[in-house]
Amino acid sequence: MTRAYSQDLRDRVIAAVEEEGLSRREAAGRYRISDAAAVRWLQALRQGRRGALAQGGDRRSRLSVHRAWLLALIDAEPDLTLLAVAERLLDEHGVKADAGMLSRFFTGNGISFKKKRLRLRTAPA
């Protein structure tokens, strides 16, 4: 993900337009940013916002509500695959989860799914 332009650059572009009387396109050319960025920054200033908008989304887990149930399920049936856990979660609680979401949840709760030592060999010695 790209980063927002610095607040210092935003302030310089705004000052060039407001104080020096440059057009938005001229200020954009001077500071080597797109015309659209300069236009948006000045529109945001007119609306009372000077800084960048927040980036990223809500990354809270929907699984934390079902933590006790998930941990009890893994304790009762440790051989379940993540896809099987996802199916059970959908059937019993109506929560849609994929293997990646479940993997992050279990890793965050200190549970790892290691293969048993006896299953490491795939062919006779």
Residue 6 one-letter amino acid: S
- The model's pTM is 0.50
Q: pLDDT in tens for each of the 125 residues of the chain?
A: 578 899 999 999 999 999 999 999 999 999 999 999 999 999 999 999 999 988 887 777 889 899 999 999 988 988 888 999 999 999 999 999 999 999 999 998 888 876 666 655 566 66
Distances in whole angstroms, Cα of residue 37 to Cα of each of 9, 25, 29, 52, 122: 11, 10, 11, 11, 58
Show the tokens assigned to 80. 């379940």
* Domain chopping of the chain, boundaries: 7-46, 64-112
Long-range contacts formed by 89-95: CB under 8 A, 24+ apart: 89/63, 93/66, 93/69, 95/62, 95/63, 95/66
